[in-house]
Amino acid sequence: MNGGGTSRHIGRIIIRAIVTLLMVAILNFILFRVIPGDPAKLLLGGARTSVTAEQIEAQRQNWGLNRPLFPDQLVDYLSATVRGDLGYSFKFRGRHVADLILERLPATIILVGIAQLTAIVIGVMVGIYAGWRRGGTLDNLATGSSLLLYSTPSFWMAMILVVIFSTSLGWFPGYGAYSPGAITGFLGSFLDYLRHLTLPVTAVALGLIGQYVVVARAAMSDVVTEDYMVTARAKGLTGGQMLMRHAFRNAMLPVVTLITLNLGYVVAGAITVEAVFAWPGIGGLTVEALNARDYPVLQGIFLLLGASIVVANLVADLAYGLLDPRVRQ
């Protein structure tokens, strides 16, 4: 009701997010310490090469691995993380993990961001309308197809798209982000980039559209049976006024929650699709790091994924408070 209640509410949400973030970091630390294998041995070339006990000991000394895990190594890890130091990659010798991630992040954000925006606009509009006109032609069409899209794994969708639109029809490239050589000039390479982007974006967006249609339709079908919609009708409002003034915002409550939670997956959401299209994003980096047992890179990526989901939850909580006055207390 008053500003005090609202700022207390926001403060609580932020503190909760910070605590969660700390837990994510600690779990991430533990996860990579319980994985079998000696990092010192790995650093020296893995199990296949023969190294002396002295060499291993020297490595341990060098990287602080001989110190106790708790609290020394944990504190080191946390304080380095806070400073933005995520360590060095095993595979890309001498490169900072943070640099590697930052290098790959834009490609993923562009891919999943565009897919999200497209899916939000199409999915929410279709879902809201289908729920408003339940049993109509669009509703019957949208409900069936959106469930199908929602339940289709995106990597499978990606492969089907490649088979149809790349291999068979040859309309779009199915591999990478740029055509090697040949294309020059800003406009030319920009259009080339867009052509490479089309299929991966479609693969990610189709599943999301299904998800948004299902959720938006369900939310709208609930809203149209609410008593306040009868009141709106009794007040002499037209169908359009009822939809825009009374139904839309209420139906958007669960949809906005879903959208903001999905923001957390902008970073992680396309790992399999990126792998299919060899898209040079975080997903590709994850697969490379997995194959190379590049634990520091994986640890950095996991932290990023965890953090983005925590932040998305924070945004969801704040957005919900803005839209629904009932949760502000």
Partner 1 sequence: MTSSSQEKPPLLDVKGLSVDYGLKGVPSRAIDSVSFALRAGEAVGLVGESGSGKTTTAMAIAGLLSPNARVSKGEVRYRGEQLPIDDDASMRPHRWSETSVVFQGAMNALNPVHRIIKQIAEPCMLKLGMSRGEATARARELLELVGIPADRGSAYPHELSGGMRQRVMIAMALACRPSIIIGDEPTTALDVITQAQILKLLGELRSRLGLALILITHDLSVVAECCDRVMIMYAGRIVEDGTVAEIFAQPKHPYTRLLIESIPNPASGKKMIRPIPGDPPNLVNRPSGCAFHPRCPSVMAVCATEVPSLDQFGRGRVACHLYRSSQEDKVAVHA
Side-chain half-sphere exposure of 37, counting CA atoms within 13 A: 15
Smaller CB separation from partner 1, 274 or 317: 317
For partner 1, the closer of residues 69 and 230 by Cβ is 230
Region of 87-95, 96-104, 224-232, 299-307 interacting with partner 1 (CB under 8 A):
224-232
Integer angstrom CA distances of residue 67 from 35, 82, 201: 18, 21, 46
What contacts 260, CB < 8 A, 6 or more positions away?
312, 313, 315, 316, 319
Chain centre to alpha carbon of residue 36: 28
Assess 324 for contact with partner 1 (CB under 8 A): yes
Closest approach, Cβ 232 to partner 1, in A, equals: 8
Q: Which of 38, 76, 222, 226 binds partner 1 (CB under 8 A)?
A: 226
Q: Is 54 in the site for partner 1 (CB under 8 A)?
A: no
Tell me which residues in 243-262 interact with partner 1 (CB under 8 A): 245-246, 249-250
The least CB distance from residue 128 to partner 1, in Å, is 16
Member of 233, 261, 275, 278 binding partner 1 (CB under 8 A): 233
Pick the stretch among 13-21, 54-62, 234-242, 262-270 that binds partner 1 (CB under 8 A). Answer: 234-242
Closest CA to 313 of 111, 21, 113: 21
Dihedral of alpha carbons 50, 51, 53, 59, sign: negative
Q: Is residue 238 close enough to count as binding partner 1 by CB under 8 A? A: yes
- 67 in contact with partner 1 (CB under 8 A): no
Question: Looking at 146-154, 286-294, 295-303, 317-325, which segment touches partner 1 (CB under 8 A)?
Answer: 317-325
Beta bridge partners of 96: 88
Q: Among residues 117, 121, 231, 244, which is the contact residue for partner 1, using CB under 8 A?
A: 231
CA 98 to chain centre: 18
Residue listed under structure tokens 């291993």:
56
Residue 136 sits in the site that holds partner 1 (CB under 8 A): no
When binding is defined by CB under 8 A, the residue of 82, 169, 187, 234 that contacts partner 1 is: 234
Q: Is 190 in the site for partner 1 (CB under 8 A)?
A: no
Binding span for partner 1 by CB under 8 A among 73-81, 179-187, 239-247, 256-264:
239-247
> How many residues sit in the footprint of partner 1 (CB under 8 A)?
22
Beta carbon nearer to partner 1, 61 or 140: 140
Stretch of residues binding partner 1 (CB under 8 A), selected from 18-26, 57-65, 76-84, 242-250 = 242-250
- CB proximity list for 64: less than 8 A, separation 6 or greater: 72, 73, 76
Q: Which is nearer to partner 1, 82 or 234 (CB)?
A: 234
Which is nearest to 267 in space by CA: 111, 73, 129, 93?
111
| 325 is an interface residue for partner 1 by CB under 8 A | yes
133 is a contact residue toward partner 1 (CB under 8 A): no
The answer to the question of residue 230 lying near partner 1 (CB under 8 A) is yes
Q: Can you give the binding site for partner 1, defined by CB under 8 A? A: 1, 226-228, 230-238, 241, 245-246, 249-250, 323-326
